[in-house]
Structure 1
Amino acid sequence: MKKTNNIRGYMLAILGGVSWGISGVCGQYLFMKYEISADWLTTVRMLLSGIFLLMLALQKEHMRVFKIWKERKDVIWLIAFGLAGLLLCQYTFLAAIKYSNSATATVLQSLNVVLMAIVMAVWNRKRMSRIQIAAIILAVSGTYLIATKGNPVSMDISAKGLIFGILAAIGVVIYTLLSRPIIASWGNLTITGWGMLIGGSVLFFLTRAWIFPTNLELPAWIIIAVIVIIGTAVGFSVFLESVKYIGPVKSTLLGCLEPASATILSALVLGTRFTVVELIGFVFVVGTVFLSVSTKE
């Protein structure tokens, strides 16, 4: 049974990373073809994915979906998960891109791998194993190579860019850890759905997302639907579900498949060419998968 659960956890974490990669490619396409802001797109994907997940939860759990609001302690956890976790991560990542660039922001956010391993090592009062340290090095190095093509000069960063990038990494750690106790009690669909809806609602008013872009055509709305359903609803929910089976450290490491999958999909779908350095980064990230499977948490 344990082996089966581990395999399920690995597959869910991998699916989460790949789903985020698909979302990133779709977002890149939208930004290339349409005049659309990242703030508006983030708000829409959080709100719609939250509604979508809660509808699925209603079919499965029925009215129990709403009973969490009667439990004061769990409500506090839920609001913290939605705001200090999901919203913090997504908003600060966009801010990091604004004050630096997407490559730098991606590298800084990948520091969540290191932060998660350190937090869990301190919490469990255990030293990180050599294999775990090697997996962390591979994950960060691979993400760096894929995002920057190995050129440190491209990482032009300001103080604000650095701060927001680190906050984005912290946001990943926070939403991963805050989800554990309430998902165990209420289920993944309910918690992720409410978390997305809470974070998206706050961002809706902060960014005035009720003002829609005027140039969106049917293909753009189809791509937005893919981002909402696959990249957000599926991506976050299956990733958080994987934490239940294999723990936050392994799930976070396997989540580093996002930049690797985005690179491959960009080449196949958008015609983006990647260099030998990027291929090496891809090999590093894939190597993380095998090391993660062999680690004991």
Structure 2
Amino acid sequence: MGQSTMKKGIVFTLLGATCWGLSGVLGEYLLNISKIDPVWIIANRLFFSGIAMVSILSIKDKHNLVRVFSDKKDILKLLNFSFLGLLICQGTYFLAIKNTNAGTATVIQYIGPVIIMLYYCALGRRWPLPREVIAILVSLFGAVLMATHFDFSELNISPQGLFWGVLSAFGLASYNIFSLSLTQKYGVMPIITWGLLIAGVVVYFATGSNYIPENFTLIDFLCMAGVTIVGTMLSFSMYLEGIRLIGAVTGSIISCFEPIAAIIFSFLLLGTTFGGIDLLGAGFILLAVVILSKR
């Protein structure tokens, strides 16, 4: 892998994580301030982002949009990516927040990069590279530091919260792993488009989410639009392009930049302040990115 490819992959992955950081802040507003049902948020963000992306690609790149359906094995991979990856990761993360809190859910979800590394090590019958181990430990420490401030009294994990959190970590690992062969063969945009639409259609109608919540304000609509466009369409497109270039292990570790972005957007949009511990945690996560970028 060339240095230019590595740098390009890191930039795309960081941009995807930044979009998720913004989405998390907007989602927190919808969940905790507007008290909107998390299932409704999950269903609508997937459904409408899938509809929008199919509409765009059917005009811009119709040939590549339908090409994935020419191979039965790839159709099965696409379904795995849609349900075992995208849906589980996105759905269970919001449910983990509902049953615990945002910090706890974030910490548990970042078991995902460890799962990915162990999967590829088992697949390749090799031990993890020292650089990978150091980067994972450093990024996990940074994420835990930012989410908890070493105050573990807030991490009261109910059985439901732990269940949804661990499932979200496996979802994070799954969509990283299942997407790679598909995006390398068909490109990122067709795969993320069908992944969102397939998962979105099923969950949207299965949960009866085709309604507008009571007292749904203009701010709620703008937050939901941000979660859908920035936090789903843009974030997944850029992140999957990033891991296509640099691999699932490296990409998943760099995605730990998400809590840094979330703190910045919390400060800018919600007035949440951050201090020295947050900056220290951010420093550890950025250090992990630097470690991975060195060859």
Q: Shorter-chain TM-score category?
A: over 0.9
Matches of 1:31 and 1:166, distance apart in 2: 20
* Between 231-240 and 205-214, the greater mean CA deviation after superposition: 205-214
Q: Identity over the aligned pairs, expressed in percent? A: 32
Please list the CA deviations of residues 220-250 of structure 1 after superposition, one character each: whole Å capped at 9, or x if unmatched. 3223222211111010111111111111111
Matches of 1:101 and 1:223, distance apart in 2: 19
Cα distance, 1:21 vs structure 2 = 0.4
Match of 1:122 in 2: 122
Match of 1:84 in 2: 84
| Aligned ranges 1:128-277 → 2 under 5 Å | 128-277=128-277
Please list the CA deviations of residues 41-65 of structure 1 after superposition, one character each: whole Å capped at 9, or x if unmatched. 1111111111222233223322441
Match of 1:94 in 2: 94
Matches of 1:53 and 1:127, distance apart in 2: 40
Cα distance, 1:20 vs structure 2 = 0.3
Code of the aligned partner of 1:171: G
Preserved CA contact (<8 Å) 1:26 1:223? yes
Question: Structure 1 residues 220, 163: CA separation in 2 closer, same or farther (over 3 Å shift)?
Answer: closer
Cα distance, 1:131 vs structure 2 = 2.3
Cα distance, 1:189 vs structure 2 = 0.9
Matches of 1:74 and 1:132, distance apart in 2: 30
Preserved CA contact (<8 Å) 2:141 2:284? yes
Cα distance, 1:132 vs structure 2 = 1.7
Preserved CA contact (<8 Å) 2:38 2:98? no
Match of 1:111 in 2: 111
Match of 2:278 in 1: 278
Matches of 1:228 and 1:99, distance apart in 2: 23
Cα distance, 1:128 vs structure 2 = 1.8
Question: Structure 1 residues 134, 180: CA separation in 2 closer, same or farther (over 3 Å shift)?
Answer: same
Give structure 1 stretches of 5+ with no counterpart: none
Cα distance, 1:33 vs structure 2 = 4.3
Matches of 1:26 and 1:158, distance apart in 2: 24
Matches of 1:48 and 1:98, distance apart in 2: 22
Q: CA RMSD in A?
A: 1.7
Matches of 2:286 and 2:207, distance apart in 1: 37
SS in 2 for 1:103: helix
Number of equivalent positions: 295
Preserved CA contact (<8 Å) 1:49 1:196? yes
| Aligned ranges 1:24-103 → 2 under 5 Å | 24-103=24-103
Matches of 1:183 and 1:201, distance apart in 2: 22
